[in-house]
Chain A
Amino acid sequence: MEYVYDACVQKDSIDMLAAEITNRLGETLEAEFVLLFYRIPGALNLIPISMWRWEGEDLPELPKDHPLVVAHQYHHDIFEVSGAGEELAKQYLTSWKAHASFGLFSGDEVSGLIVFGWENERRLNKSEKTLLQRLSERLSAAFDVFSFYQQQREVQNTLTLKNKVDQLTQISASLHHDILNPLNILSMKCQIFERKHILKESNGDLKRSAEDLTKLVLQHVDRLAIVTQRLGQFVRQNRGQLRIEGLLLSNMLNNCVDIIGPDQFAADNIAIELQLENPDVEVYGDGVLLEQVFLNLLLRSYQSIGKQGRIRVTSYEPDAFTVVVVINDTGMRQEASPEHIVTEVESPLKQDLNQVCQESESSGLNLMQRYVEMMRGNLEYRAPLTGGNQYIVTLVKRWERKHDE
């Protein structure tokens, strides 16, 4: 089993680990099949990592809606399966009419289950039980190493993303400063010119030319100002500079739907329903930031549907301090590939919100999560087995009444 441990470290692959373990267990215990599952922190279910059978026929096919088949289908994806892993394993075995012994292992992060199966009833003898115990301990250690490497990878990914965002933020801040100040001077100078020389003096063609020129300059100054404002917004968000205030949730959500365009929803035959438990509820947040979060989530839902479907936005107040907004859609479930999420970065220059943004220029879900967390809230994504996507945004409820201000 030392080899298994080394394999995990060197190959950094849970599949390799599983293959080694199943081979060795099969040889030593003479089991007819071995199943291995592991459970990641926070998950309800066990994820099958290896199902192996010695000799004989292939494993019988399970019905397509069987939880294990579904689990396989969404391997490493976010999924929900009711029932504990042990139950699933028993169901699996029952479907083969097989007998089995179980061994549990538990590391700091990952726990799991080893299942040894025989077609005929058989009990483990004393030495096999001892071996099983030792293997469970080894597995725990091996999974700890695996978890450590997983964590390292996650930290690495987070750092990479953080570095990217920090660099972008730094560049944006410089650009913002370097553009905005000259723009401000140019704008004020033009406004003074307009006041002093155009409005007060009249000189036929020269006046008209000066008017046109000033108008043109001011028009372009305004355009550039919008771009620099967006850069500034990006910098402010990523530096955690928030303007926390009470925001009327219904206004915020209605604005977001208006920005995307109710006509656009209608054109694509997408019904959007807003059903807030309390339409007067206010939440604490940064208006610009929260609008971006809801816009992002609604656009995600919109994109995932394509044509014909439904987006339903509901809210409820689970306690006196929080408000939960749930966005459900009937679209395609999103892949929970970390790389996919990690490589998505904010596009500060995206201007036309009436256009559905392309995947590459959409804000990452992890960034949205970060924004919500900056407002002391929480954002969760779920892909229920029944289909569609579900975004759950928990926000801090404003507790003062407006007239108390």
Chain B
Amino acid sequence: MTNRLLIVEDEKEAVEVMTEFFEELGFEVQAANNGQEGLDLLRSFKPQLVITDIKMPLMNGEKFLDEVRQDPSGKSVKVIITTGFTDGGMTRDRMKQFNVSAYLEKPVSLDRLEEVVQHLKL
């Protein structure tokens, strides 16, 4: 069965590159450019993995993850955060609270990302 990935990221080109990368790895990918859109897709697309940015318009990553974990379709979804250093205001405790699987700083190393995804055993 093909794994489904939801990318939540406001940079369109970053979405395109990550989509290309994950499709090569055999994922079915859908993308949202803010947390609100991400929540809608979470319910309809039902991904196994979410990769999200933190700093986004309308609904930021922290609020998005808060909603994800409260939503029945998001309770067990694996989450990877990709973010810039200034957006990393989320504390370790918060990340633990949201059960975040990995936290990668931009610029993202694709080797590292692939390694993390393999480790998650989706």
Taking Cβ atoms with an 8 Å cutoff, the residues of A that contact B are: 173, 176-177, 180-181, 183-189, 191-192, 195-196, 221, 225, 228-229, 231-233, 235-236, 239, 241, 243-245
Contacts and interface: CB of A to CB of B under 8 A. Distances in A.
A173 B21 CA distance: 29
Contacts of B24: 192, 195-196
B86 A232 contact: yes
B89 A241 contact: yes
B55 to A, nearest CB: 8
A232 B91 contact: no
Contacts of B11: 181, 184-185
A188 B86 contact: no
Given A192-B20, A236-B89, A243-B92, A177 B108 contact: no
B122 interface: no
Given A180-B85, A195-B24, A232-B88, 6 more contacts: A173-B86, A184-B14, A191-B110, A192-B20, A195-B110, A236-B89
Given A180-B106, A191-B109, A245-B92, A185 B86 contact: no
A235 B111 CA distance: 28
Contact of B84 (A181, A239, A245): A181
Interface in B8-24: 11, 13-14, 17-18, 20-21, 24
B52 to A, nearest CB: 14
B84 A177 contact: yes
B107 interface: yes
Interface of B: 11, 13-14, 17-18, 20-21, 24, 55, 84-86, 88-89, 91-92, 105-111
A241 B88 contact: yes
B108 A188 contact: yes
B85 A188 contact: no
Nearest to B82: A184
A243 B84 CA distance: 15
A188 B21 contact: yes
Contact of B85 (A186, A189, A228, A245): A228
Given A184-B14, A185-B11, A235-B86, A192 B91 contact: no
A177 B88 CA distance: 13
A125 B111 CA distance: 92
Contacts of B85: 176, 180, 228-229, 231-233, 235-236
Given A173-B86, A176-B86, A243 B106 contact: no
A26 to B, nearest CB: 63
9 contacts: A177-B55, A177-B86, A184-B11, A188-B108, A191-B109, A221-B107, A231-B86, A243-B92, A245-B92
B14 A185 contact: yes
B17 A189 contact: yes
A232 B11 CA distance: 18
Contacts of A187: 107-108
Nearest to B110: A191
Contacts of B13: 185
